[in-house]
Structure 1
Amino acid sequence: MRLTATAMLVAMAAIFVATHPLLGTHPAWGYVNAFAEAAMVGGLADWFAVTALFRHPLGLPIPHTAIIPTNKNRIADTMADFLRTNFLTPVVVARRMREMNVARAAGDFLAQRGERGEGGAGRVMAGAGALFVELLESLDPDRLGLQVKAGLARQAEKIEVAPLLGKMLQGAIADGRHRPLIDGFIRWVGVALEDNEDMVRRMVQQRANAVIRWTGLDARLAESVLNGLYKLLAEMHVDPNHPVRVRLDEGLAHLAQDLQSDAALRARVEQAKNDLLANPALSDWWMGVWERIRLSLIAMVRNPGNAMGGQIGASVAELGAALQTDPRLQVQVNRFARRTLVGVVNRYGEQIVGLVSATVKGWDATTITTRIERAVGRDLQFIRINGTLVGGLVGLVLHLLTEVL
Structure 2
Amino acid sequence: MSLFERSGLVRLNPAQGGVRGMRIMATGMLVAMAALFLIANSLDELYPALGFVKAFAEAAMVGGLADWFAVTALFRHPLGLPIPHTAIIPRNKDRIGEALAAFLRDNFLTPSVVARRMRKLDVAAGIGRFLASPPAEGRLREGGSRLVANLLESLDQEKLGGMVKGAVASRMRAMEVSPLLGQSLEAAITDDRHVPILDGIITWAGRTLDANEDMIRAMVHQRAGLVMRLAGLDEKLADGIIDGLRRLTIDMAVDEHHPLRAKAEEGLAALATSMQNDPDMRRKVEEWKNEIIANKAVTDWADGLWENARAGLLKAARDPDATMAGKFGEAIRQLGETLQQDARLKTAVNQFARRAAVGFVASYGKGIVTLVSDTIRSWDTGTVTGRLENAVGRDLQYIRINGTLVGGLVGLLIHSIELLV
Aligned partner of 1:17 in structure 2 is 38
> 1:56, 1:66 within 8 Å by CA — same for their partners in 2?
yes
Shift of 1:25: 4.4
Assess if the C-alpha contact under 8 Å between 1:39 and 1:392 holds in 2: yes
- Matched with 2:333 is 317
Q: What is aligned with 1:59? A: 80
Q: How does 1:227-242 map to 2 (within 5 A)?
A: 227-238=243-254, 242=258
Paired residues for 1:31-110 under 5 Å: 31-90=52-111, 92-110=113-131
In the TM superposition, residue 311 of structure 1 has moved relative to its aligned partner by 1.8
What amino acid sits opposite 1:390 in the alignment? V
Contact residue 170 and residue 253 of structure 1 kept, 8 A = yes
Which residue of structure 1 lines up, in the alignment, with residue 395 of structure 2? 379
The structural deviation recorded for 1:383 is: 0.5
Instruction: Sort the Cα spacing of 1:52 and 1:228 in 2 relative to 1 into closer, same or farther, 3 A.
Output: farther
In structure 1, C-alpha distance between the alignment counterparts of 2:369 and 2:52, rounded to whole Å: 55
> Quick check: 1:103–1:323 contact (8 Å CA) kept in 2?
yes
Q: TM-score, normalised by structure 1?
A: 0.81
User: 1: CA distance between counterparts of 2:281 and 2:214?
Assistant: 39
Match of 1:393 in 2: 409
Aligned partners of 2:238, 2:140: CA distance in 1, in Å?
A: 71
Cα deviations by residue, 1:216-264 (Å, 9 ceiling, x for unpaired) = 3433333332333234334444555544344444444444444455444
Structure-1 residue corresponding to 2:198: 182
CA 1:347–1:31: 2 relative to 1, 3 Å: same
**Matched residue, 2:166:** 150
User: Measured at CA, do residues 137 and 259 of structure 1 come closer, stay the same or move farther in structure 2, by a change above 3 Å?
Assistant: same
Q: Kindly state the Cα deviation for residue 15 of structure 1 after the two structures are TM-superposed.
A: 2.8
Percent identity over paired residues: 55
> Residue 381 of structure 2 aligns with which residue?
365
Whether the 8 Å contact between 2:145 and 2:320 is mirrored in structure 1 is no
Q: Provide closer, same or farther for how the CA distance between residues 304 and 26 of structure 1 changes in structure 2, counting only shifts above 3 A.
A: closer
Asked if structure 2 preserves the Cα contact closer than 8 Å seen for 1:205 and 1:213, the reply is: yes
- AA aligned opposite 1:150: G
Task: Tell me which of 273, 287, 294 is aligned to 2:303.
Answer: 287
Whether the aligned pair in 2 keeps the contact of 1:13 and 1:37 (CA below 8 Å) is: yes
Aligned equivalents of 1:47, 1:288: Cα separation in 2: 74
Give the counterpart letter for 1:221 in structure 2: L
- Work out which of the residue numbers 181, 185, 191 in structure 1 matches 2:207: 191
TM-score (norm 2): 0.78
* SS of residue paired to 1:61: coil
Aligned residue identity for 1:290: W
Distance in 2 between residues matched to 1:299 and 1:161, nearest whole Å: 35
Relative to 1, partners in 2 of residues 1:90 and 1:142: Cα closer, same or farther, differing over 3 Å? closer
Structure 1 counterpart of 2:157: 141
What's the Cα RMSD here?
Answer: 3.6
Mapping for residues 267-278 of structure 1, pairs under 5 Å? 267-278=283-294
Do 2:324 and 2:330's aligned partners in 1 also have CA atoms closer than 8 Å? no
Change (3 A) 1:392 1:320: same
1:385 positional shift: 0.9
Shift in CA distance, 309/301, structure 1 to aligned 2, threshold 3 Å? farther
Structure 2: segments with no counterpart, 5+ residues:
1-21
Q: How does 1:116-131 map to 2 (within 5 A)?
A: 118-119=136-137, 128-131=144-147
CA distance in 2, matches of 1:221, 1:125: 77
Deviation, 1:4, is 0.8
Between stretches 291-300 and 310-319, larger displacement belongs to 291-300
- Deviation, 1:335, is 4.7
Q: Shift of residue 97 of structure 1?
A: 4.2
C-alpha change, 1:373 and 1:160, in structure 2 (3 Å) is same
Q: Matched residues in 2 for 1:55 and 1:307: separation?
A: 59
- Of stretches 218-227 and 321-330 in structure 1, the one that deviates more from structure 2 is 321-330
Q: 1:403 to 1:65 in 2, by over 3 A?
A: same
Structure 1 pair 300/403, CA: closer, same or farther in 2 (3 Å)? closer
Task: Answer yes or no: is the 8 Å Cα contact 2:108–2:114 preserved in 1.
Answer: yes
| Letter matched to residue 68 of structure 1 | I
- For the structure 1 residues 401 and 292, does the alpha-carbon distance in structure 2 shift closer, same or farther, using more than 3 Å as the test? closer
Question: Structure 1 pair 338/304, CA: closer, same or farther in 2 (3 Å)?
Answer: closer
Task: Answer yes or no: is the 8 Å Cα contact 2:182–2:273 preserved in 1.
Answer: yes
Stretches of structure 1 lacking an aligned partner (at least 5 in a row): none
Letter in 1 for 2:127: A
Question: Which residue matches 1:207?
Answer: 223
